[in-house]
Amino acid sequence: MAQLTYREAIARGIAQEMRRDESVVFLGEDIAAAGGVFKGTVGLLEEFGPVRVRDTPISEQAILGAAMGAAMTGLRPIAEIMFADFFAVCWDIVVNEIAKSRYMTNGQMTFPLVIRSGNGGGLRFGAQHSQSVENWAMMVPGLKVVVPSTPLDVIGLMAASIRDNDPVIFLEEKALYATKGEVPEGDVVDTLGSAKVLRQGSNATLIALGNMVPRALQAAEELASAGIDCTVVDVRSLVPLDTQTILREVSATGRMFTVEENPRLCGWGGELASIVADEIFYDLDGPIVRITTPHIPLPAADALEDLAIPSVTRIVETVQKSMNS
């Protein structure tokens, strides 16, 4: 086992697949010589050279246009959009071209394309560089959406995404780049559409994604000391969604709490709440509770940003209040 940071796992995951398959190419702003603005692609240029690892101009439309063309003609491109907020600049090509073209060609073309991007807040980057956009992406038919929370999941889900024949939005949590985790030696390959049960409990189920996963785990430990035993589920993949694991774990405890960094309105937890209410309503012992960021632009001020994004304290207090009411 090796200890890797989340950012080191990104480079390892990409390198693993580039060594395996010469059709994998990588392009984006500052990903080559600079090693990425978040230092997540260090060493890739040196190993694979400027033909397969290419710096691009500052143009999200050009990056994704080139990546789409590469995918249509037999390559398996990885494209980086530096901040997930910048999807707003190139959303047309993602939604109306990349997501639809396999369908509109009746399967004559596949689009094995991974679009990776730094997602989420907590680093004082302000309203235009701190958004959690997973709910933007999951609502678009034709896109797969992945959000890893650990270095191990970064590598395994990156491999699964690159090998997939459909476009995948791969959202990396900026607040987790410096976190560490154990990764085994050798190739690591995971499966899209599989959630992970990280902690087993009997009283309530916390369902979390990305940066909210370690917070949910910490909250579960604090709640345990107060007599509330929580299961923690890491969703990992929003599309495809592992409904079987989620329904099983919620059914076992009878109580469901989602922990979401995205703004509350139209967040992924609302979709999960709808599925649970449709499928296992009579297994519930209380209302479904969503713990979210409010429907506001994220502030840059540290105290206000910390107040907006779900914290361990807010998770604990919300669960206690709901369970004791």
Contact assessment for residue 182 and residue 153, using Cβ atoms and an 8 Å cutoff: no
Amino acid in position 196: K
Instruction: Kindly report whether the peptide bond that precedes residue 240 is cis, defined as omega within 30 degrees of 0.
Output: yes
Residues near 150 by beta carbon (within 8 Å), at least 6 away in sequence:
6, 179, 181, 213
The tokens of 51 are what? Answer: 């033909």
Contact assessment for residue 209 and residue 147, using Cβ atoms and an 8 Å cutoff: yes
In the set 7, 12, 129, 215, the catalytic residue is 129
The answer to whether residue 295 is catalytic is no
Per-residue DSSP letters for 255-296?
-EEEEEEEESTT-HHHHHHHHHHHHHGGG-SS--EEEEE-SS
Q: Which residue has the tokens 């960094």?
A: 261
CA of 36: how far to CAs of 85, 118, 145, in Å? 17, 11, 22
Report the C-alpha gap between 270 and 260 in whole angstroms. Answer: 10
Q: Which region holds residue 96: left if phi is over 0, alpha if psi is between -120 and 50, else beta?
A: alpha
DSSP-derived 3-state class of residue 118: strand
The candidate with the shortest Cα–Cα distance to 28, out of 9, 7, 44, 47, is 44
> Which is it for the CA torsion 21, 26, 31, 32, positive or negative?
positive
Active site residues: 129
